[in-house]
Structure 1
């Protein structure tokens, strides 16, 4: 969508160690580079060099059209040096660029505009002392439409500058449907320190996620970039602006909620937390989950109150949150399942209305009976500690409810096997590193002895 506004995301320093599953769309250059641009924007080779002569090459060629404003745009000489290079827009304003160390090549260092005409004047001195002069004009591409990518932790939280849990996927959401997913994925890069192996997965034609094969190692530093400007993402849809984000993975916080035991065990960095506020929780925090009951909603839909089994990722936290049964179809005030309440310490773990939250009205059921409408009820002795210690990206793994979480529900990325996850990439999957790297955080086995 064409927009005049700009989204600005802080660009972090480049990280030393990199595992980039998505291929970069950027082009490198050197003194002997061969440059080509989209459409008919090929290089202008100048005169053919004879023995002992130099050859001046200007990119793009004279009168080229549909040139990508992201380049490559520049000039080079295979002997001698460039004396002066001046690139100007239609108003005569100079565009910034820089020479290499020996002045044999020059490249533009700022992105050009879409649908603009530019003039490049180049003067060079060959190795034989001969003077070369060349002037070219070219026009950049006019997009049919523009799209802006958003780098998000979830639908309510941007990634940049945050600290997230070991289950946090990277989500990129485009504000226009993407026709060429391969081109879009090629523009996305993920750099991590230490190296982490991961892959992109498209959930639809707007949203693509990146996650490691296993949970992130605690302490990982991450930078993600969407270098979409000047890229044709299909049918004349171009990137509006490059964006980037940097974030960090915090300590491993994983909770395993079991519908059979009505208990939730908490693991910090792989070790079970056995005391909370002086209370013994070796058997797990007593909880009450979704009851095994079905009711017919206002529109004839069947409403199953069981909590979804599967790996949930913490999304948003609310000190108070209004919850109403009307949100999932129960509007009859005479129904025993009707409610409209302001709930305290509510932590969202899916988009289908699942939270863990304070429930002081059914403490008798905690650890004994599942009575909720799908949420994880926690008593006042433990909910404040859970609320303070669990952040977006932390993991709530629900077991034994008989109803499975949809991978598209919230951040259900971990519901997909690695094979199904990699099948969702638009690019060939690079081989997994066999040496080095850092051990990822495993999912604790609730049946194992901590």
Structure 2
């Protein structure tokens, strides 16, 4: 009946039995009396979690409000001083997530109002108290994007964890990782096998000009039972122009592409047979005008060298950098310890063209890039990438491209450093 008041119709019938007299009959018409009686419309039933009078609630708590026989229209959260707590509703409508962590050992009140099918409303109130500041050991998280920076079109949103997240705890952690894009370009998260990193990307590269917002809302989150998350981390960044580098060991040449068009070819010298360069799709992670490679104590290392115009590609220490000592080898033979050597002039030019987050593809070397050795989100097909999610992937993201997109398929800063290993 929509929003009209429900009515119950009660029909009472009284029928007289006709009498037969002689050759004629006299009929008494049956009388039917209809009585309408108004029945009060039911109110919607509202359930709130955390339940009323709950104690020791984690500061990472979310608020759930469910309605039976109606829908939730207002959820209001206030602290013990009466100040409203801002919260955002999840896309699936399941919970409201406070935009900042709740305070330890504090009391909060939730008021949830629902409108029933009949138009009647119900408000449910619940009060809960958060736990004291946790003394459990923390999982240290690292968000590898910085607020206000501009990155390349292959920049994955990357969160690192120390110690790594056990498989049984990944779904709960992933539920607390949020990404927004403007214009919308939805994607999903995918975990590295050992749980040390999780990546977010879309099926295709970011469109230039996209604004990306991320929140790793992990403060106080119970992780695996014996640890908690360290803090909330947020950043909003922008995607810049589309640049990609393609390095071919067969030709010993690098192609530099902007918006899919080759703008320069550069001779290179890659890793020699004993220290080969990795083949695969990598992302520029850091850029240094000057840095020092100190490989003392490392296998096949033992040297210290200062280099200019160095761009990191892997945690293991593969860089693109200026190498004046190998100019005569560049374009002809591999002599490096795993890095991509270019001339000082080319290295200086590259620093002015590339961005952190640009894609670098190396082909034809003796070894494959290892998952997690750098930001390896693009070193797999979309079909494989989505399998790394600890949560169900939305249906709209399941139809996958038939092939990994090439850099030219897209229309048109340095994060927190990781391990300091480097090779020359």
Offset from partner CA, 1:274-296 (integer Å, 9 cap, x none): 4xxxxxxxxx211111122xxxx
**Mapped partners of 1:187, 1:372: distance in 2:** 42
Structure 2 CA distance for partners of 1:344 and 1:194, relative to 1, 3 Å: same
CA contact (8 A) 2:141 2:229 kept: no
5+ residue gaps, structure 2, are 1-38, 70-75, 87-96, 112-123, 410-424
Q: Show the counterpart of 2:418.
A: none
Q: How does 1:251-400 map to 2 (within 5 A)?
A: 251-274=241-264, 284-292=265-273, 304-326=274-296, 328-330=298-300, 339-400=303-364
User: CA separation of 1:266/1:346 partners in 2, compared to 1, >3 Å: closer, same or farther?
Assistant: same
- What is the CA–CA distance in structure 1 between the aligned matches of 2:295 and 2:220, rounded to whole Å? 47
Q: TM-score by structure 2 length?
A: 0.66
- Indicate the SS of the match to 1:273: strand
1:44 corresponds in structure 2 to none
Shift of 1:212: 2.1
In 2, the alpha carbon distance for the partners of 1:380 and 1:119 equals 63
Q: Which residue of 2 aligns with 1:181?
A: 170
For the aligned residue pairs, the C-alpha RMSD in angstroms reads 4.1
Q: Which runs of 5+ in 1 are unaligned?
A: 1-49, 79-84, 99-106, 122-133, 275-283, 293-303, 332-337, 446-450
The answer to whether residue 212 in structure 2 is matched with residue 248 in structure 1 is no
1:162 to partner: Cα distance: 1.0
- Aligned counterparts of 1:137 and 1:145: Cα–Cα separation in 2: 26
Contact map agreement 1:166 1:253 (CA 8 A) in 2: yes
- TM-score (norm: length of structure 1): 0.63
1:178-237 Cα deviation digits (max 9, x unpaired): 452112211222111222242211123453111222322222211112334575444265
Aligned residue runs from structure 1 range 232-247, under 5 A? 232-235=222-225, 237-239=227-229, 241-247=231-237
SS of alignment partner, residue 419 of structure 1 = helix
Contact kept, 8 Å, 2:139 with 2:227, in 1: the verdict is no
The SS at the match of 1:384 is helix
Q: 1:259 to 1:202 in 2, by over 3 A?
A: same
- Distance, in Å, in 2 between the alignment partners of 1:265 and 1:429 is 35
Q: In 1, are the aligned partners of 2:142 and 2:161 still within 8 Å (CA)?
A: no
SS of residue matched to 1:180: helix
Match for residue 210 of structure 1? 200
CA distance in 2, matches of 1:88, 1:413: 41
Alignment partner, residue 298 of structure 1: none
Change (3 A) 1:256 1:145: same
Which of 217, 224, 236 is equivalent to 1:227?
217
Deviations 1:89-108 (A, max 9, x none): 4xxx544469xxxxxxxx99
Tell me, in whole angstroms, the C-alpha distance in 2 between the residues paired with 1:224 and 1:136.
Answer: 30
Q: Which has the larger radius of gyration?
A: 2
Please name the residue that 1:37 is paired with: none
Contact 1:197 1:432 in 2 (8 A): no
Q: Deviations over 1:277-316 (max 9, x none)?
A: xxxxxxx211111122xxxxxxxxxxx3111111121111
Deviation at 1:419, TM superposition (A): 2.6
